[in-house]
Amino acid sequence: MSAAMLSGDDLENALRQIGEERYHHRHPFHHLMRDGKLNRGQVQAWALNRYYYQARIPAKDAYLVARLPTPALRREWRRRIIDHDGESEDTGGIARWLRLTDGLGLDREYVISTKGLLPATRFAVDAYVNFVRDRSLLEAVASCLTEMFSPEIIAERVEGLLKNYDFISRDTLAYFTPRLTQAPTDVAFALAYVKEHADTPEKQALVFDTLRFKCDVLWAQLDALYFAYVEPGLTPPGAFVPGRTAQ
Protein backbone atom coordinates (compact mmCIF):
# COMPACT_ATOMS: atom_id res chain seq x y z
CA MET A 1 0.00 0.00 0.00
CA SER A 2 1.49 3.29 -1.04
CA ALA A 3 0.63 6.53 0.73
CA ALA A 4 -1.49 9.15 -1.00
CA MET A 5 -0.14 12.57 -1.86
CA LEU A 6 -1.10 15.05 0.86
CA SER A 7 -2.15 18.66 0.31
CA GLY A 8 0.07 21.38 1.79
CA ASP A 9 -2.27 21.79 4.76
CA ASP A 10 -2.47 18.06 5.41
CA LEU A 11 1.30 17.79 5.17
CA GLU A 12 1.65 20.54 7.77
CA ASN A 13 -0.90 18.88 10.03
CA ALA A 14 0.92 15.56 9.77
CA LEU A 15 4.16 17.33 10.73
CA ARG A 16 2.46 18.92 13.73
CA GLN A 17 1.18 15.51 14.74
CA ILE A 18 4.72 14.11 14.70
CA GLY A 19 5.88 17.06 16.79
CA GLU A 20 3.06 16.51 19.25
CA GLU A 21 4.23 12.91 19.74
CA ARG A 22 7.98 13.21 19.49
CA TYR A 23 9.24 16.73 20.18
CA HIS A 24 11.25 17.04 23.39
CA HIS A 25 8.59 19.17 25.10
CA ARG A 26 7.30 15.74 26.18
CA HIS A 27 10.59 14.63 27.70
CA PRO A 28 10.69 14.07 31.48
CA PHE A 29 13.89 16.13 31.75
CA HIS A 30 12.12 19.13 30.24
CA HIS A 31 9.26 18.66 32.68
CA LEU A 32 11.65 18.58 35.63
CA MET A 33 13.27 21.80 34.40
CA ARG A 34 9.98 23.54 33.75
CA ASP A 35 8.56 22.53 37.10
CA GLY A 36 11.54 23.65 39.14
CA LYS A 37 12.57 20.12 40.07
CA LEU A 38 16.18 20.35 38.94
CA ASN A 39 18.99 21.53 41.16
CA ARG A 40 21.62 24.03 40.05
CA GLY A 41 24.10 21.33 39.01
CA GLN A 42 21.53 19.68 36.81
CA VAL A 43 20.66 22.97 35.11
CA GLN A 44 24.39 23.56 34.65
CA ALA A 45 24.76 20.15 33.00
CA TRP A 46 21.88 20.95 30.66
CA ALA A 47 23.31 24.36 29.65
CA LEU A 48 26.82 22.97 29.22
CA ASN A 49 25.67 20.13 26.97
CA ARG A 50 23.22 22.26 25.02
CA TYR A 51 26.08 24.67 24.31
CA TYR A 52 27.49 22.13 21.87
CA TYR A 53 24.23 22.08 19.96
CA GLN A 54 24.24 25.88 19.77
CA ALA A 55 27.89 25.96 18.73
CA ARG A 56 27.33 23.56 15.82
CA ILE A 57 24.19 25.23 14.44
CA PRO A 58 26.13 27.67 12.21
CA ALA A 59 28.12 24.76 10.74
CA LYS A 60 24.88 22.96 9.97
CA ASP A 61 23.47 26.09 8.35
CA ALA A 62 26.64 26.78 6.39
CA TYR A 63 26.51 23.25 4.97
CA LEU A 64 22.98 24.00 3.94
CA VAL A 65 23.98 27.31 2.32
CA ALA A 66 26.72 25.45 0.45
CA ARG A 67 24.12 23.13 -1.03
CA LEU A 68 21.42 25.66 -1.98
CA PRO A 69 21.46 26.34 -5.72
CA THR A 70 20.73 30.07 -6.04
CA PRO A 71 21.90 33.36 -4.51
CA ALA A 72 18.30 34.12 -3.43
CA LEU A 73 17.95 30.86 -1.47
CA ARG A 74 21.42 31.23 0.01
CA ARG A 75 20.70 34.81 1.11
CA GLU A 76 17.58 33.58 2.89
CA TRP A 77 19.41 30.81 4.70
CA ARG A 78 22.62 32.66 5.55
CA ARG A 79 20.57 34.88 7.89
CA ARG A 80 20.58 31.95 10.27
CA ILE A 81 24.37 31.84 10.32
CA ILE A 82 24.43 35.54 11.11
CA ASP A 83 21.77 35.12 13.83
CA HIS A 84 23.93 32.54 15.60
CA ASP A 85 27.45 33.86 14.99
CA GLY A 86 26.45 37.52 15.46
CA GLU A 87 27.74 40.66 13.80
CA SER A 88 30.71 41.03 16.14
CA GLU A 89 32.26 39.60 19.28
CA ASP A 90 29.70 38.93 22.04
CA THR A 91 26.68 39.15 19.76
CA GLY A 92 24.61 36.35 18.25
CA GLY A 93 23.07 33.18 19.60
CA ILE A 94 26.26 31.41 20.67
CA ALA A 95 27.46 34.44 22.64
CA ARG A 96 24.04 34.74 24.27
CA TRP A 97 24.18 31.07 25.25
CA LEU A 98 27.51 31.75 26.95
CA ARG A 99 25.79 34.47 28.99
CA LEU A 100 23.54 31.71 30.28
CA THR A 101 26.43 29.39 31.17
CA ASP A 102 28.25 32.39 32.74
CA GLY A 103 25.14 33.17 34.76
CA LEU A 104 25.02 29.58 35.96
CA GLY A 105 28.58 29.90 37.26
CA LEU A 106 30.26 27.71 34.64
CA ASP A 107 33.76 28.56 33.47
CA ARG A 108 33.47 29.91 29.93
CA GLU A 109 36.67 28.30 28.70
CA TYR A 110 35.58 24.94 30.06
CA VAL A 111 32.20 25.25 28.34
CA ILE A 112 33.76 26.23 24.98
CA SER A 113 36.31 23.42 25.22
CA THR A 114 33.36 20.93 25.25
CA LYS A 115 35.58 18.73 27.43
CA GLY A 116 32.79 18.01 29.87
CA LEU A 117 30.24 17.06 27.24
CA LEU A 118 28.30 13.83 27.50
CA PRO A 119 29.45 11.65 24.59
CA ALA A 120 25.80 11.10 23.63
CA THR A 121 25.38 14.86 23.18
CA ARG A 122 28.28 14.95 20.76
CA PHE A 123 27.02 11.94 18.82
CA ALA A 124 23.50 13.33 18.50
CA VAL A 125 24.58 16.82 17.45
CA ASP A 126 27.20 15.51 15.02
CA ALA A 127 24.59 13.19 13.52
CA TYR A 128 22.45 16.25 12.84
CA VAL A 129 25.26 18.25 11.19
CA ASN A 130 26.27 15.25 9.08
CA PHE A 131 22.66 14.65 8.08
CA VAL A 132 22.41 18.18 6.71
CA ARG A 133 25.75 17.83 4.94
CA ASP A 134 25.06 14.42 3.38
CA ARG A 135 21.34 13.86 2.77
CA SER A 136 19.21 15.28 -0.01
CA LEU A 137 18.58 19.01 0.02
CA LEU A 138 14.90 18.40 0.77
CA GLU A 139 15.82 16.38 3.86
CA ALA A 140 18.42 18.97 4.88
CA VAL A 141 15.84 21.77 4.77
CA ALA A 142 13.16 19.62 6.42
CA SER A 143 15.45 18.84 9.34
CA CYS A 144 14.94 22.35 10.73
CA LEU A 145 11.18 21.93 10.95
CA THR A 146 11.38 21.28 14.69
CA GLU A 147 11.45 25.08 14.86
CA MET A 148 7.69 24.83 14.27
CA PHE A 149 7.47 23.76 17.87
CA SER A 150 10.27 25.72 19.54
CA PRO A 151 8.43 28.92 20.54
CA GLU A 152 6.16 26.88 22.79
CA ILE A 153 8.94 24.98 24.54
CA ILE A 154 11.00 28.16 24.91
CA ALA A 155 8.07 29.95 26.55
CA GLU A 156 7.61 27.05 28.98
CA ARG A 157 11.32 26.82 29.66
CA VAL A 158 11.84 30.53 30.28
CA GLU A 159 8.78 30.81 32.50
CA GLY A 160 9.72 27.71 34.46
CA LEU A 161 13.36 28.71 34.87
CA LEU A 162 12.53 32.25 36.02
CA LYS A 163 9.82 31.19 38.40
CA ASN A 164 11.53 28.24 40.01
CA TYR A 165 15.24 28.94 40.19
CA ASP A 166 16.60 31.88 42.12
CA PHE A 167 20.01 31.45 40.46
CA ILE A 168 18.54 32.37 37.07
CA SER A 169 17.74 35.92 35.97
CA ARG A 170 16.00 37.28 32.90
CA ASP A 171 19.35 38.62 31.68
CA THR A 172 21.00 35.20 31.66
CA LEU A 173 18.09 33.95 29.56
CA ALA A 174 18.74 36.56 26.85
CA TYR A 175 19.34 33.73 24.40
CA PHE A 176 15.71 32.88 24.12
CA THR A 177 14.07 36.25 23.46
CA PRO A 178 15.25 36.72 19.83
CA ARG A 179 14.58 33.05 19.10
CA LEU A 180 10.88 33.68 19.65
CA THR A 181 10.84 35.86 16.53
CA GLN A 182 13.70 34.24 14.57
CA ALA A 183 12.33 30.70 14.70
CA PRO A 184 8.93 31.52 13.16
CA THR A 185 10.58 33.47 10.30
CA ASP A 186 12.98 30.60 9.68
CA VAL A 187 10.32 27.95 9.79
CA ALA A 188 7.93 29.79 7.47
CA PHE A 189 10.57 29.61 4.75
CA ALA A 190 11.46 25.98 5.42
CA LEU A 191 7.84 24.88 5.57
CA ALA A 192 7.04 26.62 2.27
CA TYR A 193 10.12 25.02 0.71
CA VAL A 194 9.12 21.58 1.93
CA LYS A 195 5.52 21.97 0.75
CA GLU A 196 6.75 22.96 -2.69
CA HIS A 197 9.51 20.37 -3.11
CA ALA A 198 8.00 17.30 -1.44
CA ASP A 199 5.94 16.74 -4.57
CA THR A 200 5.52 12.97 -4.41
CA PRO A 201 4.20 10.72 -1.62
CA GLU A 202 7.71 9.24 -1.37
CA LYS A 203 9.26 12.67 -0.77
CA GLN A 204 6.56 13.53 1.75
CA ALA A 205 7.38 10.30 3.59
CA LEU A 206 11.04 11.35 3.54
CA VAL A 207 10.08 14.66 5.16
CA PHE A 208 8.20 12.84 7.93
CA ASP A 209 11.18 10.55 8.51
CA THR A 210 13.40 13.60 8.68
CA LEU A 211 11.28 15.29 11.31
CA ARG A 212 11.27 12.08 13.35
CA PHE A 213 15.05 11.91 13.02
CA LYS A 214 15.42 15.50 14.19
CA CYS A 215 13.09 14.90 17.13
CA ASP A 216 15.31 11.93 18.00
CA VAL A 217 18.36 14.20 17.94
CA LEU A 218 16.77 16.51 20.51
CA TRP A 219 15.25 13.70 22.58
CA ALA A 220 18.50 11.74 22.80
CA GLN A 221 20.21 14.76 24.33
CA LEU A 222 17.68 14.92 27.16
CA ASP A 223 17.84 11.13 27.63
CA ALA A 224 21.59 11.42 28.14
CA LEU A 225 21.16 14.26 30.64
CA TYR A 226 18.49 12.34 32.55
CA PHE A 227 20.61 9.19 32.64
CA ALA A 228 23.78 10.98 33.78
CA TYR A 229 22.37 13.60 36.14
CA VAL A 230 18.91 12.48 37.33
CA GLU A 231 18.41 8.75 37.33
CA PRO A 232 20.28 6.48 37.62
CA GLY A 233 22.77 9.36 37.72
CA LEU A 234 25.63 7.43 36.13
CA THR A 235 27.92 10.12 34.76
CA PRO A 236 30.24 8.81 32.03
CA PRO A 237 34.03 9.08 32.58
CA GLY A 238 35.30 12.55 31.78
CA ALA A 239 31.89 14.22 31.73
CA PHE A 240 31.01 17.28 33.78
CA VAL A 241 30.36 16.60 37.45
CA PRO A 242 28.49 19.43 39.22
CA GLY A 243 30.56 20.96 41.98
CA ARG A 244 33.53 18.75 41.22
CA THR A 245 34.81 19.26 37.66
CA ALA A 246 37.05 22.30 37.23
CA GLN A 247 34.53 24.93 36.24
Residue type, 144: C
**From the CB of 71, what's the least distance to a copy of itself, in Å?**
4
Quick one: DSSP state of residue 24? G
75 sits near a copy of itself (criterion: CB under 8 A) = yes
Tell me the window of 28-36, 53-61, 157-165, 231-239 that interacts with a copy of itself (CB under 8 A). Answer: 53-61
Half-sphere exposure of 16 (CA within 13 A, CB side): 7
Q: How far is residue 241's CA from residue 231's CA, in Å, rounded to a whole number?
A: 14
Which amino acid is present at 133?
A: R
Residue 123 lies near a copy of itself (rule: CB under 8 A): no
82 binds a copy of itself (CB under 8 A): yes
The per-residue b/e assignment along 185-215, b for 16 or more CB within 10 angstroms, e otherwise, is ebbebbbebbbeebeeeebbebbbebbebbb
The answer to whether residue 78 forms part of the interface with a copy of itself (CB under 8 A) is yes
Quick check: 19 binds a copy of itself (CB under 8 A)? no
The nearer residue to a copy of itself, 32 or 62, going by C-beta atoms, is 62
Residue 122 binding a copy of itself, by CB under 8 A? no
Of 182, 211, 178, the residue nearest 96 (C-alpha): 178
What residue ranges bind a copy of itself (CB under 8 A)?
A: 58-60, 62-63, 65-67, 71-72, 74-75, 78, 81-82, 84-89, 92, 94-95, 133
